[in-house]
Amino acid sequence: MRKLLYASVLVVLASTLITPAAFAGAKIKINDESSIDLGFRIQFLAISTQRDLDGDGEWDNFQDLKDRRARFRLKGVINKWAEGFLQTDISSASGGSGRDMRVIDAFINLKAHKWAQFYTGINMVPSSRQTSRPRAR
């Protein structure tokens, strides 16, 4: 029980020391109007539990730290009228083994006027990203 308490305190302390607004990426300026913005995000999952894992009637300790998902993004500003965006999501495949990579955003934004912008491509709203796994047919 003490190990679980120590592990929980360690996870809480570690999560408070990690900067939540960290930016992992690079912006490459081509000229005054054009640029390329590369980015990367990763989410870790820490598991610490005590339960009967093997069914022998005794409590077992289980601790694991794994990367849950990673995202790569690419934004290209062509000029003041057009820009493009691409974002991928690499996560654990359903079933727990291997990886699954998919494109979650891939669009071009054409800015005809400050009141009129046209998007074409895949633009997934943030509220649907958690439950939008493709269904098997």
What pLDDT, on a 0 to 100 scale, did the predictor assign at position 135? 46
Residue 54's identity, in one-letter code, is D
3-class state of residue 87 by DSSP:
strand
What is the share, in percent, of the chain residues with pLDDT greater than 70? 73
Is the dihedral angle over the CA atoms 111, 114, 118, 123 positive or is it negative? positive
What pLDDT, on a 0 to 100 scale, did the predictor assign at position 96? 55
Looking at per-residue pLDDT, the higher value among 79 and 95 belongs to: 79
What pLDDT, on a 0 to 100 scale, did the predictor assign at position 131? 53
- Which token pair is 66? 């794994």
DSSP secondary-structure letter at 6? H
What pLDDT, on a 0 to 100 scale, did the predictor assign at position 95? 52
pLDDT digits (tens, 9 = 90+) for 4-57: 767 777 776 666 666 555 556 788 898 988 999 998 888 887 888 787 777 787
Looking at the DSSP bridge assignments, the partners of residue 84 are: 76, 108
What pLDDT, on a 0 to 100 scale, did the predictor assign at position 41? 83
Q: How far apart are CA 103 and CA 83, in angstroms?
A: 18
pLDDT digits (tens, 9 = 90+) for 67-92: 777 889 999 999 989 999 999 988 76
Q: How far apart are CA 38 and CA 60, in angstroms?
A: 43
Looking at per-residue pLDDT, the higher value among 83 and 122 belongs to: 83
What pLDDT, on a 0 to 100 scale, did the predictor assign at position 85? 94
Task: Produce one character per residue of 106-123: b if its CB has 16 or more CB atoms within 10 Å, e if not.
Answer: bbebeeeeeeeeeeeeee
